[in-house]
Amino acid sequence: MTTTGTNRPNLLRGVPSAVGGIMKSPVVTVDSESTVTEVAKVMARNHVGGLVVTIEGKPAAMVTERDILERVVATGADASRISVKRIMSRPLITVGRNLSIIEAIMLMRRKKIRRLPVLEEGRLIGIVTERDLLKAIALHVFLSFRPLM
C-alpha cells in the first residue's frame, strides 16, 4: 500500500490528473462540406452536442448544437442547403494529452468553450468536455476528503 507523508493511503494514486486520462476516443467528426442537416443527424445518432469539423481530413473547427440553433434555426435558413463550413466555430482550440485537468478548465473558461479536442503530433486522438473535467475534479475532491469522513 502506498502512503503519503501522513501515514494515510494515497487515495489519488491512479486517478487521472491530465486530459489524456479522461478524454473520449474515437472522436466523431464531420467534413466541412457536410450540410447542417447531415451534421444534426450525426449528432443525434452519436448522442453528442458538438463535432470536430475536418478539412481535408485535418481538424479545423467545431460545430455545436448552439451554432446550429443560433446560425440556422433562429434565422429560418434551410439546413439542407447550408454547409457546416458556413456556421462552424473557429479557430479550433486544442490541447495535448498532458495538459492538466485544472489548466484545461481554466482554458475553457477563458475561451468560453465547452469542448477541447486533444491532438498528438497534429492528429486528433480524443476530446474532453467541460462535464468530463468537472467529474474528474469532483472525484479528486471526494478522494482527498474521504479520509476525513
Stretch 38-51: mean pLDDT: 97
Give the model's pLDDT for residue 52: 98
Residue type, 117: P
Report the greatest alpha carbon distance in the chain: 65
Answer for the pair 128, 50: CB distance below 8 angstroms, yes or no: no
Residue-range domain boundaries for the chain: 19-148
- The model's confidence at residue 7, banded by pLDDT at 50, 70 and 90, is very low
Taken in order 26, 38, 89, 75, is the CA torsion positive or negative? Answer: negative
The CATH code for residues 19-148 is: 3.10.580.10
Stretch 87-102: mean pLDDT: 96
Tell me the whole-structure pTM to 2 decimals: 0.82
Q: Buried (b) or exposed (e) across 56-80, using 16+ Cβ within 10 A?
A: eeebbbbbbeebbeebbeeeeeebe
